[in-house]
Amino acid sequence: MTSINPVTRQIADIHISSSQPTNPRPLGHTKQPSQTNVTKLLTKYAAPNPHAAKPPSRVPSPTKPLASRSKPVDPQPAPSSSKPVLEIGKYDGGLELENEERGTVVEGAAARALALDSSMIQVNPTPKWTLHSFEIGRPLGKGRFGRVYMVRTKPPHTPYILALKTLYKSEIVQEGVEKQLRREIEIQQNLRHPNILRLYGYFHDSKRVFLMLEFAGKGELYKQLSKHGSFSERRSSRYIDQMADALSYLHSKHIIHRDIKPENLLIGINGELKIGDFGWSVHAPGNRRKTLCGTLDYLPPEMVENKAHGAHVDLWALGVLMYEFLIGNPPFEDRRGAKNTYLRIARVELHFPAHVSAEPRDLITKLLQYEPEKRLSLTKVLVHPWIIRYRPKDA
Ligand code: AMP
């Protein structure tokens, strides 16, 4: 990063990859979110001020440039008499409790190499975003590297609701996933799509990295699927439509997701699907990769057979996801173990229960093709009769 204005310094200084001069794979679209931009993005996309009389639109308009917004960045405090829209819930003190017991300060070469060391902040010793910038609310869940809380930004920031995700640096280093985290941050912070969870910014202290994420009001899709067993055709079709649109956006940016599965999907406040995890994403323009990754049930034949793979892996996963939504389990699952699942994937042993109608069968079959190039393109998925049938007229 060559020039930064004072308000962007904190974000710039803590940007995990910014002080990595030897970063072997700088991304073409890694424009850093400046502090001003973070505020703008919060204003545009984050859940609204719970006390505001008129909340801003929650549905982002991807075509409208940020600069064209007319909303002030720091509006007047909302009248206290107005009815709360969204409460953040009661804080359980978990962040402090956990921080006492968990993780260690990451120092020295590892921290410097990762630029995760807070001593790296030399330009501006008072970072704009710290844990004190937020009123902490209820716990939203526990992840592999730390907890996630519902939070509200405190004055002088305009109050917005977010999900704050904590990650323990020492555990990231221990698991050797620093690069994966950096990649997740680099990718996610540059994406703007209504069905992709926004990453507004991040900051860190000596032990933790904090990700400021869009709050997915209706939680995990996986929980919904477990609760209902399967989804109706209408609901499945709406989700697949949104997934196809989001994947199409990602592929247009040369990003392959590679880990599409219900566990990585969240549901927004208006019931819309949100891709929420970029841990396995790869930014690979014209680049075919051979790393085996992802969950076995969602892996395409070319990956289980350890062949080179490209963006078509996401089309396969979309077919598996659609099957799981409608039927309640992934198509090649084999309870006898991974080896059998592997064989079923490689042979494309696809069977449908009798209740699955012709249109969804057709779409799934066209996505679950052994040959990657034969899989139905996202453009064609978006105009498939089963997708069009359930798409609202105004969508
Ligand atoms: P993760 O570390 O991403 O696995 O998150 C742990 C849990 O926190 C998830 O299973 C969700 O229940 C919850 N969670 C994570 N991110 C969000 C979010 N942006 N909005 C709402 N809940 C979230």
- From the annotation, which residues make up the binding site for ATP? 144, 165, 214-216, 263-264, 277
Name the fold adopted by 221-390. Answer: Transferase(Phosphotransferase); domain 1 (1.10.510)
CA-wise closest residue to 249 among 217, 270, 211, 275? 275
Distance of alpha carbon 300 from alpha carbon 322, whole angstroms: 14
**Chain Cα centroid distance, residue 263:** 11
Q: Picking from 17-26, 299-308, 383-392, which range would have the lowest pLDDT averaged per residue?
A: 17-26
CA 148 to ligand 1 centroid distance, Å: 6
Which protein residues touch ligand 1 with a CB less than 6 Å away? 140-143, 148, 163, 165, 197, 213-216, 219-220, 266
Calculate how far, in angstroms, residue 91's C-alpha sits from the geometric centre of ligand 1: 16
Residue of 151, 165, 214, 281 to mutate, ligand 1, most atoms within 8 A of C-beta: 165
* Residues belonging to the active site: 259
Which of 8-12, 108-112, 350-354 has the highest average model confidence (pLDDT)? 350-354
Per residue in 12-52, pLDDT (tens digit) is 222 322 333 233 322 223 334 444 455 544 544 455 543 33
Burial zone of 192 (CB within 10 Å; 0-12 exposed, 13-18 middle, 19+ buried) = middle
Instruction: Output the pTM of the full model.
Output: 0.77
Quick one: CATH architecture of 1-16+86-215? 2-Layer Sandwich (3.30)
Instruction: Write out pLDDT tens, residues 169-206.
Output: 998 888 888 887 887 888 888 899 999 999 998 888 88
Ligand 1: residue whose CA is nearest its atom 13? 141
* Protein residue whose Cα sits closest to atom 10 of ligand 1: 141
> Domain ranges in the chain?
1-16+86-215, 221-390
What's the rounded Cα separation, in Å, for the pair 278 and 196? 10
Instruction: Report CA(247)–ligand 1 centroid distance (Å).
Output: 21
Going by CA atoms, what residue is nearest to atom 1 of ligand 1? Answer: 143
CA pair distance 16, 334, nearest whole angstrom: 40
Q: How far apart, in whole angstroms, are the C-alpha atoms of residue 293 and residue 377?
A: 23
Judging by DSSP bridges, how do beta strands 134-142 and 161-168 pair with one another?
A: unpaired
